[in-house]
Amino acid sequence: MTAEELLEKAEQLRQRQQATALRLLLCCSSPCLSCGAGAVKAALAAAAADCEPSIAIEVAATGCLGPCSRGPLLCLQRPGEADVVFERVTPDDARAIFAAALAGLLPDAQRLPADLPFLAGQTRIVLENCGRIDPENIEHALAAGGYAALARALSDFTPAQVCDQVLQSGLRGRGGGGYPTGLKWQLLHKARGDRKFVVANGDEGDPGAYMDRALMESDPHRIIEGMAIAGYATGASQGYVYVRGEYPLAARRIRKAIRDAERLGLLGMRILDSPFSFRIDLRLGAGAFVCGEETALMASIMGRRGQPVPRPPYPAERGLWGAPTVINNVETFGNIPPILRDGPERLAALGTGKSRGTKIFALCGDVVENGLIEVPMGTSLREVVYRIGGGLAGDVAFKAAQTGGPSGGCIPAEHLDISLDYETLRELGSIMGSGGLIIMGERTCMVDVARYFMEFCMDESCGKCSPCRAGTVQMYRLLDRICNGSARERDLKHLEQLCRLLPEASLCGLGLAAANPVLSTLSWFRDEYLEHIRAHRCPAGTCRMSELPPIMMADELLQRIAAGRLNGEAF
């Protein structure tokens, strides 16, 4: 297939879609499937099969529509009308909606308002096709403009120009580090070597983050297209997608997308009839958080234990099998096609300061609307929580927002008005991270949250360097003591010492950032720590405080002895 044929085919597919009298798009990503989307799909397929064949009807299983806590979600498309989304659809509802839609009606029940702030407050660029296309059908992706950016890159730009375009857009790594993607690509472009590799990091390990899963499940072709463009720009001919082992559906859909793209000549040898060749293989992770770190990830791709090695040399110099390698998050690759298609100005026009474009967040926790959102960088936290998220659920006050998972920190209520971008979050002692945004109400104990993340880091430490291996264990024990009531004030000093030691002495990102949740909660919620230690009570009511610190134990012993004597008991 040549570039012209691709565009022609896409146009044909678009026209066919527009001529379809009724399109029913059912969200079939993990959350909606867990709420019973499978049964709804079967009901719709049966209803459509019973219909008169003369009416053009399409029932498609799509990816994530966004407001995941309202699933299963069903989107109704009719030519010349705005899309209508229905929430919490059961098989019976689906049949009723289908029948009504056939009769030209629009049922009111379960309809999501078109101006729902959760949807209206977003700027969807990376997620533009999510929920609009069937991820297992490449024709849907083509109709939505898939691979057009790759065609444009191959025909209109030299590899160096592609790097420039990406640099001009101001795109920075979406996996958390925030390194300018264009610079990374230029480094690889200039690196010498016959073999170069492009790796997409889909090992989304942060608990409470699922942007990458949603993107891989909903629009796998976009990631593949982004990787192919990266391959062209950097001179690599082999790519790997590393998918987290816990995401079997994402892995299945990416595998299928790779196969379909190969079949149409959009991957493999002589892509779109150009001299450029690029192939992609999938590697499935096996449940090790540390593999999100780039050197550990490379070890895992090569079939070894996922243990990091010191940098430099950076992967751009010596990566997979010693060859220059570029590693980007899957969301970063998702940003690439719009840059090439619409020009770098569109991305550069969004955002604030050095953070350009949009960011996807997985908004969850104690908010009314849980789900996936994409907002311009620099959107205020207040806007995200109260407008898009609909405020806190269940009559509790906002206490903190946690970003960046076990490498990040908490943002307290007094900073609700901050702008969500790389720099501001770092100033507040948190990080952008991959995009988990967990909203916590006043009934969440911040010491317990710190302990939770420390337990996570302790379990996930690969054991290679001792500051991380032993430090996380010691920090966990200290935090556990504070939570169970047996801590004394000097434990807090030890904790702070370790908080300084880990970032200085650890080998990789896991250990370097493991102290962040503790440092952050200590700086904003120190009172809570002190209340646990001094007053022996948990202000949020989460910790059980079942133990006593050594000194208080002695006091209690004396009291009991005295009481025993008074009651005439033998002690």
Partner 1 sequence: MPTLTSEPTPLSAAAFDRDDPRLRLVEQTLKRFQYRPDALIEVLHVAQETFGFLGDELLTHLAARLQLPESQVFGVATFYHAFVLRPPGKHRCIVCTGTACHVKGADVMVKALEEHFGIQAGQTSADGQLTLGTARCLGICSLAPLLMVDNRVLGHQSLDGIAARVAAALTDSDHSGESTP
Beta strands (DSSP E) in 16-56 are: 22-27
DSSP H or E run through 365: strand 358-365
Among 2, 15, 34, 466, binds partner 1 (CB under 8 A): 34
Three-state DSSP class for residue 360: strand
Q: How far is the CB of 354 from partner 1 (least distance, A)?
A: 28
Q: How far is the CB of 257 from partner 1 (least distance, A)?
A: 18
DSSP H or E run through 292: none
- How far are the Cα atoms of 19, 47, 187, 383 from residue 118, in angstroms, in the given order? 30, 31, 39, 10
CA distance linking residue 315 with residue 293, whole number of Å: 11
Q: How far is the CB of 65 from partner 1 (least distance, A)?
A: 12
Residue 157 vs 452, nearer CB to partner 1 = 452
Q: How far is the CB of 484 from partner 1 (least distance, A)?
A: 13
- Other CB atoms within a 10 A radius of the CB of residue 46 amount to 14
Cα dihedral across residues 509, 512, 514, 519: positive or negative: negative
Among 170, 405, 435, 549, binds partner 1 (CB under 8 A): 405
Residue 287 vs 313, nearer CB to partner 1 = 287
Among 142, 288, 340, 381, binds partner 1 (CB under 8 A): 288
Beta-carbon contacts of residue 327 (< 8 Å; ≥ 6 apart): 199, 200, 201, 294, 297, 298, 315, 319
Residue 48 vs 393, nearer CB to partner 1 = 393
Residue 153 vs 514, nearer CB to partner 1 = 514
Q: How far is the CB of 181 from partner 1 (least distance, A)?
A: 24
- How far are the Cα atoms of 3, 181, 342 from residue 153, in angstroms, in the given order? 10, 17, 12
Residue 283 vs 318, nearer CB to partner 1 = 283
Is 306 a binding residue for partner 1 by CB under 8 A? The answer is yes
For residues 349 and 221, is the Cβ–Cβ distance under 8 A?
no
Number of residues engaging partner 1 in binding (CB under 8 A): 55
Which segment (347-355, 362-370, 412-420, 522-530) binds partner 1 by CB under 8 A?
Answer: 362-370
Is 361 a binding residue for partner 1 by CB under 8 A? The answer is no
DSSP string for residues in 184-202: HHHHHHHS--S--EEEEEE
Is 362 a binding residue for partner 1 by CB under 8 A? The answer is yes
Site for partner 1 in 211-230 (CB under 8 A): 213
Backbone angles phi, psi at 431, to 5 degrees: -140, 160
Residue 105 vs 396, nearer CB to partner 1 = 396
Is 300 a binding residue for partner 1 by CB under 8 A? The answer is yes
* Residue window 438-457: x/- pattern of binding to partner 1, with contact defined by CB under 8 A: x-x---x----x--xx--x-
Nearest to 356 by CA among 372, 339, 378: 378
Q: How far is the CB of 245 from partner 1 (least distance, A)?
A: 5
Strands 238-243 and 197-202: parallel
Among 461, 486, 520, 521, binds partner 1 (CB under 8 A): 461
Site for partner 1 in 67-106 (CB under 8 A): 68-69, 71
Among 364, 377, 450, 508, binds partner 1 (CB under 8 A): 364
Among 175, 235, 285, 315, binds partner 1 (CB under 8 A): 285
Residue 49 vs 302, nearer CB to partner 1 = 302
DSSP string for residues in 206-246: STT--HHHHHHHH-HHHHHHHHHHHHHHHT--EEEEEE-TT
Q: How far is the CB of 562 from partner 1 (least distance, A)?
A: 36
Question: What would the two tokens of residue 11 be?
Answer: 């146009």
Residue 223 vs 271, nearer CB to partner 1 = 223
Is 370 a binding residue for partner 1 by CB under 8 A? The answer is yes
Q: Using alpha carbons only, how large is the chain's radius of gyration in Å? A: 26
* Residue window 463-492: x/- pattern of binding to partner 1, with contact defined by CB under 8 A: x-----------------------------
Among 247, 333, 476, 529, binds partner 1 (CB under 8 A): 247
Among 17, 186, 295, 402, binds partner 1 (CB under 8 A): 402
Among 117, 121, 180, 245, binds partner 1 (CB under 8 A): 245
Residues 392, 126, 252: CA angle, nearest 5 degrees: 95
Is 295 a binding residue for partner 1 by CB under 8 A? The answer is no
CA distance linking residue 359 with residue 436, whole number of Å: 11
Is 398 a binding residue for partner 1 by CB under 8 A? The answer is no
CA distance linking residue 186 with residue 5, whole number of Å: 31
Nearest to 46 by CA among 34, 55, 59: 59
- How far are the Cα atoms of 14, 361, 411 from residue 327, in angstroms, in the given order? 34, 21, 29
- How far are the Cα atoms of 301, 408, 461, 549 from residue 542, in angstroms, in the given order? 41, 22, 26, 19
Is 174 a binding residue for partner 1 by CB under 8 A? The answer is no
Q: How far is the CB of 373 from partner 1 (least distance, A)?
A: 11
Residue 410 vs 498, nearer CB to partner 1 = 410
Is 31 a binding residue for partner 1 by CB under 8 A? The answer is yes
For residues 210 and 372, is the Cβ–Cβ distance under 8 A?
yes
Is 394 a binding residue for partner 1 by CB under 8 A? The answer is no
The residues of the shown chain that bind partner 1, judged by CB under 8 A, are 30-31, 33-35, 68-69, 71, 204-210, 213, 245-247, 283-289, 300-307, 362, 364-366, 370-371, 402, 405, 436, 438, 440, 444, 449, 452-453, 456, 459-463
